[in-house]
Amino acid sequence: MNDDYDGSDLWLRYVPVSDPGLLRRYRKAVTTVIVENADRDKVYRHTPDLAMAPGSTERLMESTLEAAREELVRGLSGLLDRRVRVESRPGHHIPDGAVIVGTRDSSATVRRLVPAEDLAALGDAGYLVRSLSAGPHEFTVIAGGTAVGALYGAFAFLRLLQTGKPVTDLDIADRPRVANRHLNYWDTERLYAGNDESGTGGLNGENGAIFNFAATGASADLNLPLILDRYLVAARAMASVGINGITINNVNANNAYLTPEYIAQEAALADALRPYGIRLALSIRYAAPTDPRFAPDTLTEEQMAPVDADFQAWWNRRARQIQESIPDFVGFTVKANSEGQPGPQDFGYDHGDGANGMAVAVAPLGLTIYWRTFVYNPDVDTDRLKRAYLEFGPIDDEPQPDGSHGRFLENVFLQTKNGPLDFQAREPIHPMFGRMANTNQAIELQITQEYTGQSRMLCFLAPMWEEILKTDTHATDDQGRPLDHRLVGHVVDGTAQGHSATSIVGVANLGNADNLTGHHFSQANFYAFGRQAWDWTLDSADLADDWVRMTWSGDEDVVDAIVGMMMGSWEALVSYQTPLGIGHQFTADVHYGPGPSESDLPREDWNPTYYNQADSVGLGYDRSPTGSDLTAQYFPALAAEYGSIDTVPENLMMWFHHVPWDHPMRSGRIFWDELVDHYYSGVEYVGGMRRTWDSLEPAIDARRFAEVRAKLALHEVDAADWRDTCVGYWQQFSGREIPDQ
């Protein structure tokens, strides 16, 4: 046990298998790695002086199959506690225990052993892992339709060993349900993994972000194009769960990322990530063409209408400049007319015009526009939660000259948060899922824990994402008939309404902290997002089990204890922060501590009091048909369920109803008693997690044990603060005693 281990390898640590019998079986089944032509198809590299920082332990890869080979060698050597042989071709006889990796194009052996139709069914990213034999020799074939697919298969094979699964008699075929599985990286805010321990910055001139573009002081020599170990650890981790794209800067975009100096740095980063199947995108500011740093190539305010030929030509030129350095560039993410960001509405046009204006500009280059729907202009409606659909829905419904409906172009994704507010610990699903039948939609989830404890609280988010993705939208066709496939996940993966362009986006939680995520358990959210983006039908408990075995221990008692902690952590956080559907009760801007009484923020809909509506009658915002009627934005079956206080799920109750203090709950208690019980039970769960963790000290390496222990102690104090602050404030309105616990 390495008591100084800092967590920097994430779930790719590859410690030796501890079970002697299992280790013996693995050593028999795996002896040799064979990757034919691993060095033949080198990926594009734009940066001639691309190099690792002095003292690095990672190594730049030149091809995707080289990355697969090196990962298998690293992983298997670590897991089997001995060096595995590496061969470039199998020779006359395939060795017993060989692991053969490749595509039908790269490997004559794969071509001989794997029928073309088997791989064709798996698409570009899919893979198969098969146990085969030739005479007395048994071996494993990992094949992909592309080198990236083979890389994903290599990681899947390693995961089997890491989690103690059998590696013989395999016949695995897997492909992603969603084509574009991206991270959005916000490099200057919502950054809770900086190495200064505050989660908001960094040491030695770094800003706390994972990538160095403008570090100063002692870190000035570590800016891109120099590649740091942590970049490649993150790349390997992304590839291990199938993430294939990253938007590398904040949606509140800095135009510097469009300058030649930054593009050169971005190209270097793209070069380093490319072997792992990861493509870069940029967040941009709609009004970038007016920025004087681009002079003389700037536009006037009069040229900024999205339909203006000069506006479109400017974005085409800028995109071409990027693509010259990054030929596999994805495109742009745009936050427009939201929270002070400029957009088409500033020039008299709507979001459809804005998104299409940019889409037309980049379509000849094969690029995509991700247009975020996080808008809440108070002029649209008094209820903030209704505003996005009121702006975007009519554009999706709009009849077109060819008889179709929907104005958004095919190279546009509307990027929509999972709920109608803002990444709260539990929200109803966004009404736009299923309603936007004529538009490509990407769901946006938040991996970084803005409202779910940041890097201070242990909160495993996979159960929340599972709940969201498996919620029934009750979507119907244009005849009002229920769709055959209508869960949110079906909308996202295109099976609900026949969309072939599909995307899921996670706001990343990476930083320059030693463990890359600030809290050791926040690594689990990064891991789970990738796995659920690949296949949203996966069970979150299974993901927790895998991650624990890969990260902490394969001991069954330890696994059971840690998985138990994780699987209740999200519901506990909901209970002590925002139970029964009370939303957004956070202190201003920080979004961490409790602030239910705040009422003087610059915007009414930033105030916790706007959402809690606390009075002597009850608590919660009435969005039923007798209130703001948000429920009308959902399909009829869901609208009816949410619209009645007697049928709404109790965990969403205050999102839709102003609930009387004495309302009878399904437990037999009145609402006040149920509410208080949630606050107390949530804190009690955190105390239970802390005690469970303390009991694991003999089984966990010292540094990580101590760091998690300290986090849990802080977590328990802060959870109690949430309970006491909120219950005390609600008590002023309810006039009721705290029930016996």
Tell me the catalytic residues.
339, 422, 450
Tokens of 578: 């925002």
Q: CB–CB of 217/508 below 8 Å?
A: no
Distances (CA, A) of 591 to 169, 349, 526, 581, 613: 50, 33, 20, 17, 19
Helices (H), 449-522: 462-469, 488-493
Give the integer Cα–Cα distance in Å for 154 and 17.
18
**108-112 CB contacts, 8 Å cutoff, 24+ apart:** 108/36, 109/34, 109/36, 109/141, 110/36, 110/141, 110/143
Categorise residue 445: left if φ over 0, alpha if ψ from -120 to 50, beta otherwise.
beta
Cβ contacts of 174 within 8 Å, gap of 6 or more = 122, 126, 127, 128, 152, 156, 535
To the nearest 10 degrees (0 to 180), the angle between helices 671-695 and 556-577 is: 150
**583-586 CB contacts, 8 Å cutoff, 24+ apart:** 583/421, 583/424, 583/427, 583/611, 583/654, 583/655, 584/421, 584/422, 584/424, 584/451, 584/608, 584/610, 584/611, 585/611, 585/612, 585/726, 586/451
Task: Count each helix (H run) and each strand (E run) in the chain, helices first.
Answer: 21, 18
Q: CB–CB of 508/185 below 8 Å?
A: yes
Give the integer Cα–Cα distance in Å for 107 and 100.
9
Which DSSP letter does residue 344 get?
A: G
**Angle in degrees, CA 707, 590, 245, rounded to 5:** 75
DSSP string, 355-386: HHHHHHHHGGGT-EEEEE-----TTT-SSGGG
In what side-by-side order are the strands of the sheet with 85-87?
85-87, 32-35, 98-102, 137-144, 127-134, 171-174
Coil/strand/helix, residue 149: helix
| Selection from 286, 442, 434, 410 nearest residue 351 by Cα | 286
Which DSSP letter does residue 91 get?
A: -
Buried b / exposed e along 293-328 (16+ C-beta atoms within 10 A): ebeeeebeeebbbbebeebbebbbebbeebbebbee
Name the amino acid, one letter, at 685: Y
Q: CB–CB of 179/164 below 8 Å?
A: no
Give the integer Cα–Cα distance in Å for 706 and 693.
10
Main-chain dihedrals φ then ψ at residue 77, nearest 5 degrees: -60, -40
| Selection from 482, 680, 681, 718 nearest residue 587 by Cα | 718
Q: CB–CB of 262/298 below 8 Å?
A: no
530 class by beta-carbon count within 10 Å (0-12 exposed, 13-18 middle, 19+ buried): buried
Tokens of 456: 């201070």
Tokens of 552: 């902490």
Q: CB–CB of 154/162 below 8 Å?
A: no
Q: CB–CB of 444/703 below 8 Å?
A: no
Beta bridge partners of 441: 414
Name the amino acid, one letter, at 658: H
| Cβ count within 10 A of residue 736 | 15
